[in-house]
Structure 1
Amino acid sequence: MPLPVVLPVALIGAGKVAHAAHVREIRDLPDDLRLVAVVERDLAHAAAVTGGPAGFPDAVVCTDVADAVRAGARAALVCTPWWTHRDVVLECLAQGLPVLCEKPVGLDLAEIDEMIAAEAAAQLPVAAGYMKRHDPIVRMFVDHCRAHLDRARRLTVDIHDPNAPHQVAHLMPYPPPPFGPQPPAARAALAAALGPQASPEQQDAYARGLGGSLIHQVNIVHAVLDGSGRELEGRLLHADRWAGTDGVGCRWRPDGELVVDLTHQRLPEHRRYREVLEFTAQDTVATLTLPSPYARDEGARLDIDTWDAAGGLADRHTRTAGPGATGFRRQLLAWARSLSGDGPPLPGLAEVRRDARVMREAALRLS
């Protein structure tokens, strides 16, 4: 049955991504979402959501999903650490809640299969937090790539990522956690996901540069390739790591005409995040420059150059997005409207599985 127009939501996990991305967006969308419960065992983190003049004083702090349902929740926004997602999603589905889960939804193919089976049994959707797919300027880039895919030569992604506390410190009510080694639970989850043959370096790269970041861009590449008969899976040429695992890069050849290159570098001394996607075809180049999704003082830019070889003329069309116009808000709106029956479904577990298979293959090939 369609859910209410104003969707009563439980926030599960009140850590970094919840405060830096979702809480303020929910606050600004009162006609679409209503936060009724916060499921969080750290009471200080929960109080940062419910307390203060700009908080959600009517939201109930809960220790489990069942309590959130009793508080009136009809859907769940999952913002817990990635290695907990399988258990949390299964619990939400068992309690009758459709889910929007932050990425990576899963890095273990067996766990993703469990979630797919539970989703089918519950007949409730699990949406993936691929917020970039909801950004209009990203959609323009994808549409241009698809329109010129028959003449495509190269699709690249280059990310310079501080991946440091200063990126989100201005958005959080308490000091953000420092960058550090994976906790024991995450290491156990990575060992299960990659198998005993994986090295610690491969595990770390899978959790961070590949599965934690580039899985977003693999999803965008898959959106470009959908329906074309071209695939990334099984077409990996090589995967490299350098500077420990602070740099990772992968190259695929979906067919004899097209190469796909993705690179992520963790550069803590760079104060700004920088992401550039570039699509090259025989007669056009599209360059998409994206700021950090947490930035509120930078905007995205798309430049499309097209050449007429016969006339020797070139056209440039530029599209820009205002500062702070990221996909987080549009994703929440799209999710609420899809659950109320007023919009299409969001990317789901089938895409999560496809993306994870590709990233897992790259992780195990890292040299």
Structure 2
Amino acid sequence: MNGWPAQRAGIGGERAGGGPVPVVLVGAGKVAHAAHLRELRDLPDELHLAAVVEPDPAHIAALHRVGLGAVDRYASVTAAARAGARAALVCTPWWTHRDVVLECLAAGLPVLCEKPVTLDPAEIEELAAAERRTGLPVTAGYMKRHDPVVRLFLDHCRARLDRARRLTVDIHDPNAPHQVAHLLPYDPPPFGPQPPPAREALARALGPAASQAQREAYARGLGGSLIHQVNLVHAVLAGSGRKLAGRLLHADGWAQGAGVSCRWRPDDGLLVDMTHQRLPAHRRYREVLEFTASDGVATLTLPSPYARDEAATLTVQSWDPAGGPAERRVYTAEPGQTGFRRQLLAWARQLRGEPGSRGAAGEALPGLADVRTDTRAVREAALRLA
């Protein structure tokens, strides 16, 4: 949703060139320190970290150690809005998002919310109703959609969808403290069981008949990771009439929940396969998406989402059906141009109402409609797990 009334967004009629948008950060934990805060520090002309809502004093103290200077701390989003914040970046644990986003919208703040915005279909509808009521957008934190090489991959797939045969995703994820330890100014939290509030949220989202294994996979391998790639597949399929939900062939879990895989058949000509493995001993994150068409293959390799010294690489190989020469092209973005950075830039342009403030391939920034579609697919997969 673009073009909401500026006075409702609290931006006071600012447009292009109106200066950085004052933002409240809600939750200064792992993802904030590992990704968003260092980007905010480097984008002072776009977004100004004006306030933070965070109950942990250690996390507040850590803000000073990442070069952000003094940031005012507030007890609530409402108080931060009264003090001048005009938008909210929500980085709290996923099971708190419903309450936090509703508070932001009630305070007049448009929202960028980390994924998963919610894994509960009922909460999605509640948030969508609040979005309509306030006229303020909730942008979903699908930062991969903003990576320039990912955008090339999506464009390539869309242009050849009539020739598509298979789209695969393979993720090797340490999902361990060492993956982000060098990015945090405090010891990262250990990987462990879901806390009681998360377990309660998962029970509501999946229903009382769901097993513990299904709930764990839904929160992590499916809803915590593969939901990103489900969103990319939906971006490829958009407007084609194809979908994932309702077309699931199977979903499997193994290694005591450390591995999960799903297969969909959006139509008779296309298979979509996705696998996520948690491999704590691996020192590096690895993600590969491959699109196979009848006349070529496109392979997208992505580094850790927290990496700044690596970039995505897209390799496209194609063959002339008439027997002409093969063609091979390789695309790589400059290091440092992360999806997180470009997501914040796109959001800042949207907040200021600038022309061209849209996301990948001219689409509106991902929002609750995307969340609804993606959640249907991963929830169905979770409930199908044996």
Identical-residue share of aligned pairs (%): 72
Does residue 226 (structure 1) correspond to residue 238 (structure 2)? The answer is yes
Does residue 69 (structure 1) correspond to residue 81 (structure 2)? The answer is yes
Does residue 54 (structure 1) correspond to residue 67 (structure 2)? The answer is yes
Quick one: which of 317, 327, 337 aligns to 1:315? 327
Does residue 349 (structure 1) correspond to residue 368 (structure 2)? The answer is yes
Inter-partner Cα distance in structure 2 for 1:56 and 1:176: 22
1:56 Cα shift?
A: 3.0
TM-align CA RMSD: 1.0
Would you say the 8 A contact 1:159–1:276 is kept in 2? yes
Cα deviation per residue 1:124-182 (whole Å; 9 max; x = unaligned)?
00000000000010000000000000010000000000001111111111011010000
Inter-partner Cα distance in structure 1 for 2:123 and 2:285: 31
Does residue 242 (structure 1) correspond to residue 254 (structure 2)? The answer is yes
Cα deviation per residue 1:11-54 (whole Å; 9 max; x = unaligned)?
000000000000010111111100110000111111212x2471
- Residue 167 (structure 1) aligns with: 179
The SS at the match of 1:36 is strand
Would you say the 8 A contact 2:38–2:66 is kept in 1? no
Quick one: which of 306, 312, 318 aligns to 1:306? 318
Would you say the 8 A contact 1:133–1:139 is kept in 2? yes
The SS at the match of 1:253 is strand
The SS at the match of 1:313 is coil
1:312 Cα shift?
A: 4.5
Quick one: which of 18, 31, 52 aligns to 2:32? 18
Would you say the 8 A contact 1:35–1:56 is kept in 2? no
- Residue 361 (structure 2) aligns with: none
The SS at the match of 1:278 is strand
Would you say the 8 A contact 1:239–1:362 is kept in 2? yes
Quick one: which of 269, 277, 296 aligns to 2:308? 296
Unaligned stretches of 5+ residues in structure 1: none
Inter-partner Cα distance in structure 2 for 1:146 and 1:53: 40
The SS at the match of 1:308 is coil
The SS at the match of 1:254 is strand
Inter-partner Cα distance in structure 2 for 1:245 and 1:71: 45
Would you say the 8 A contact 1:48–1:55 is kept in 2? no
What aligned pairs does 1:25-40 form with structure 2 within 5 A after superposition? 25-40=39-54
Amino acid aligned to 2:327: D
Please report the TM-score for the alignment, with normalisation by the length of structure 2.
0.93
Amino acid aligned to 2:158: R
Would you say the 8 A contact 1:99–1:125 is kept in 2? yes
Aligned length: 365
Give the 4+ runs in structure 1 shifted more than 6 A. Answer: none
What aligned pairs does 1:184-199 form with structure 2 within 5 A after superposition? 184-199=196-211
The SS at the match of 2:267 is coil
Inter-partner Cα distance in structure 1 for 2:305 and 2:142: 12
Please report the TM-score for the alignment, with normalisation by the length of structure 1.
0.98
1:284 Cα shift?
A: 1.1
Inter-partner Cα distance in structure 2 for 1:29 and 1:155: 35
- Residue 58 (structure 2) aligns with: 44
The SS at the match of 2:350 is helix
Amino acid aligned to 1:27: R
Would you say the 8 A contact 1:240–1:249 is kept in 2? yes
Inter-partner Cα distance in structure 1 for 2:66 and 2:322: 64
Cα deviation per residue 1:291-344 (whole Å; 9 max; x = unaligned)?
001113322110000001322421001001233332000000100101111113
Inter-partner Cα distance in structure 2 for 1:331 and 1:17: 14
Inter-partner Cα distance in structure 2 for 1:174 and 1:53: 11
The SS at the match of 1:159 is strand
- Residue 153 (structure 1) aligns with: 165
- Residue 9 (structure 1) aligns with: 23
- Residue 383 (structure 2) aligns with: 364
